[in-house]
Chain A
Amino acid sequence: MFDGSPEDHFPVPAARTSAWRPVTQESPLVRAVLIAVALGGLAILVVAPLIVVFAEALAKGAGEALRSLAKPEALSAIRLTLIVAAITVPLNAIFGIAAAWTITKFDFRGKAFLITLIDLPFSISPVVAGLALVLLFGTNSLIGGWLVAQNFPIIFALPGIVLASIFVTFPFVARELIPVMIEQGRAEEEAALTLGASGWRVFLTVTLPNIKWALLYGVLLCNARAMGEFGAVAVVSGKIRGQTATMPITIEMMYNEYFSVAAFSLATVLALLGLLTLALKTLLEWRHADQLAATRRH
């Protein structure tokens, strides 16, 4: 069995000069299949649902859809969602920058624990988070009871919705920033310090410009999630129509009550808000493409 020449056991394929291509490239057939799978998946999972939502909203004509959006219930939901996002996103941007800065620029005990803690909202069901807030700040709790007595209720009110949204969207900014800041290291900040800049100036002129794209992505993701959050908000808001019902909650209530045009019209607005942030991101990337390329790496 082993007496033959090595070529018997390890045949050397004949050179195929006709089908030459880079080693990392697959054959045309494999490429076509992969592209088809990716596009097919996108079409079924992303594009089709969007089209269905738009179609349902317009099922009885654009006039009917617009009339349903002009109702106080829908307007109040849109306003509430925008207010919640407007409070949640800046706060989480600040928390996220602070957390990422602490984790990447300093060495201290319990760093791994802090990183795990940041991920906690991703691993805990939003409903559980909402229930925890109710237990902590509900009327029957010590803090909650006192706050209600001070005429500042948290649960079934705006502060509770904001707290729930902050909890659920907390990881987005920090998670975007940490890898970028680790990759960039501390050298540029140290250089700025040796040149006489104060800590605050270093942050504004060196750190922030270096992380601004990651920060933007984090903020956009955080914003999309804050506007769309359902589970945690459903628990803490009490779903009071026209008062504490955000857009996702109002959509669900309308749908359950068979107001399908109203539900899908509002869903369309919510989807469009999400698409708007996406378009904004693309526009910024496109406008600053040269700068983006220059700041990526040396």
Chain B
Amino acid sequence: MHIEIDEIAKTFGSTTALQPVSLAIPSGALVALLGPSGSGKTTLLRILGGLEFPTSGRVLFDGQDATGLTVQERRAGFVFQSYALFRHMTVFENIAYGLRARPRRSRPPHAEIERRVTKLLELIQLPQIADRYPSQLSGGQRQRVALARALAIEPRMLLLDEPFGALDARVRKELRQGLREIHDTTGLTTVFVTHDQDEAMELADLVVVMSMGRIEQVGRPQDIRARPATPFVREFIEA
């Protein structure tokens, strides 16, 4: 799905989280929103997912105005920073949650839900953990379960907030590859937020560098590395 951000701005009380920003995300792209904390990248991601509403501006999905769509109507697969798995549910119930939450007429029958959850567990290469609780999983396993739970609703896009933030360096590298593979198999337009320039440069097709609520530069990783547009970008990617 093609996403277009048209002059989106967001203020919280008297603080400005986002200056009016515009950005076009091509269908099927893997995009990184890169910037230090407070740069507005998470706010932008949450606006895309419908968890936050912009003060002004529009969001377009495939050319259609989606600004007023509720979080449920957006059908965005969202992976949260600390994964936000439902702690009182097993891995199976976590992944099945979105399917079971559908209105009765579009809810798949029980056998179908079981089939899909099993398939997703295979996709994230954790077929054995269906009956475990989140507290019994490692950080990397939790992240993959969160990804499977987001994919279960057959989302129109995948939004990830610092998906590797809570993991140690070795697992991080491994899961980057995992996300790339899942993106390539599903073909979903994917946007992830990160403050780690290596992660953004290595993983994304398109990197959006942000600072102080502004977009500093948008480009392919090699272009940003070769020609940083502003002193901020040069400093940030060299750090």
A190 to B97, CA, bound (A): 13
Please judge, given known A-B contacts A196-B72, A196-B98, A198-B72, whether A191 and B78 are in contact too, CB under 8 Å.
yes
A196–B84 touching, CB < 8 Å: no
A195–B133 touching, CB < 8 Å: no
A191 to B102, CA, bound (A): 15
| Interface bin, chain B | 20 to 34
**Chain A residues with Cβ under 8 A from B51's Cβ?**
190, 193-194
**Chain A residues with Cβ under 8 A from B49's Cβ?**
194
Give the residues from 165 to 217 in chain A that come closer than 8 angstroms, CB to CB, to chain B: 187-188, 190-198, 201, 205-206, 209-210
**Chain A residues with Cβ under 8 A from B80's Cβ?**
187, 190-191
**Chain A residues with Cβ under 8 A from B88's Cβ?**
209-210, 291, 294-295
Please judge, given known A-B contacts A197-B101, A294-B135, A298-B134, whether A192 and B76 are in contact too, CB under 8 Å.
no
A24 to B36, CA, bound (A): 40
Q: Is B82 an interface residue (CB 8 A)?
A: yes
**Chain B residues with Cβ under 8 A from A60's Cβ?**
none
The digit string for B52-81, where 1 denotes a CB below 8 A from any CB of A, is: 000000000000000000011011111011
Residue of A nearest to B79 (CB): A191
**Chain A residues with Cβ under 8 A from B142's Cβ?**
298
Q: How far is the CB of A5 from chain B (nearest CB, A)?
A: 46
**Chain A residues with Cβ under 8 A from B149's Cβ?**
191, 195
| Interface bin, chain A | 20 to 34
Give the residues from 82 to 97 in chain B that come closer than 8 angstroms, CB to CB, to chain A: 82, 84-88, 97
Residue from B72, B75, B78 whose CB has the most chain A CB atoms within 10 Å: B72
Q: Is A297 an interface residue (CB 8 A)?
A: yes
The digit string for B142-183, where 1 denotes a CB below 8 A from any CB of A, is: 100000011011000000000000000000000000000000
Please judge, given known A-B contacts A196-B98, A196-B101, A197-B101, whether A191 and B75 are in contact too, CB under 8 Å.
no
Q: How far is the CB of A50 from chain B (nearest CB, A)?
A: 37
Q: How far is the CB of B8 from chain A (nearest CB, A)?
A: 19
Q: How far is the CB of A189 from chain B (nearest CB, A)?
A: 9
A196 to B71, CA, bound (A): 7
B97–A192 touching, CB < 8 Å: yes
Q: Which of A188, A196, A201, A209 contacts B153 (CB 8 A)?
A: A196
A256 to B134, CA, bound (A): 59
B87–A210 touching, CB < 8 Å: yes
B101–A192 touching, CB < 8 Å: yes
Residue from B76, B85, B86, B153 whose CB has the most chain A CB atoms within 10 Å: B86
**Chain B residues with Cβ under 8 A from A195's Cβ?**
97-98, 101, 149-150, 152-153
**Chain A residues with Cβ under 8 A from B133's Cβ?**
294
B78–A196 touching, CB < 8 Å: no
**Chain A residues with Cβ under 8 A from B101's Cβ?**
192, 195-198, 201, 205
Give the residues from 207 to 242 in chain A that come closer than 8 angstroms, CB to CB, to chain B: 209-210
Q: How far is the CB of B15 from chain A (nearest CB, A)?
A: 13
Please judge, given known A-B contacts A210-B87, A294-B88, A295-B87, whether A193 and B71 are in contact too, CB under 8 Å.
yes
The digit string for A256-298, where 1 denotes a CB below 8 A from any CB of B, is: 0000000000000000000000000000000000010011111
**Chain A residues with Cβ under 8 A from B71's Cβ?**
190, 193-194
Residue of B nearest to A212 (CB): B88
Give the residues from 12 to 70 in chain A that come closer than 8 angstroms, CB to CB, to chain B: none
Q: How far is the CB of A132 from chain B (nearest CB, A)?
A: 37
Residue of A nearest to B75 (CB): A196
Q: How far is the CB of A187 from chain B (nearest CB, A)?
A: 4
**Chain A residues with Cβ under 8 A from B50's Cβ?**
194
Q: Which of B75, B86, B102 contacts A188 (CB 8 A)?
A: B86
A291 to B90, CA, bound (A): 11
**Chain B residues with Cβ under 8 A from A291's Cβ?**
88
Residue from A187, A209, A294, A298 whose CB has the most chain B CB atoms within 10 Å: A298
A206 to B149, CA, bound (A): 15
A191 to B77, CA, bound (A): 9
Residue of B nearest to A195 (CB): B98
Q: Which residues of A contact B (CB under 8 A)?
A: 187-188, 190-198, 201, 205-206, 209-210, 291, 294-298
- Report, nearest first, the 4 A-B pairs whose CB atoms are least far apart: A195-B98, A187-B84, A197-B101, A194-B78
Task: Please name 19 pairs of A and B residues whose Cβ atoms are closer than 8 Å in the assembled complex, sorted by A.
Answer: A188-B86, A190-B78, A190-B80, A191-B84, A191-B85, A193-B71, A194-B51, A194-B77, A195-B152, A198-B101, A201-B101, A210-B88, A291-B88, A294-B88, A295-B87, A295-B135, A296-B135, A298-B82, A298-B85
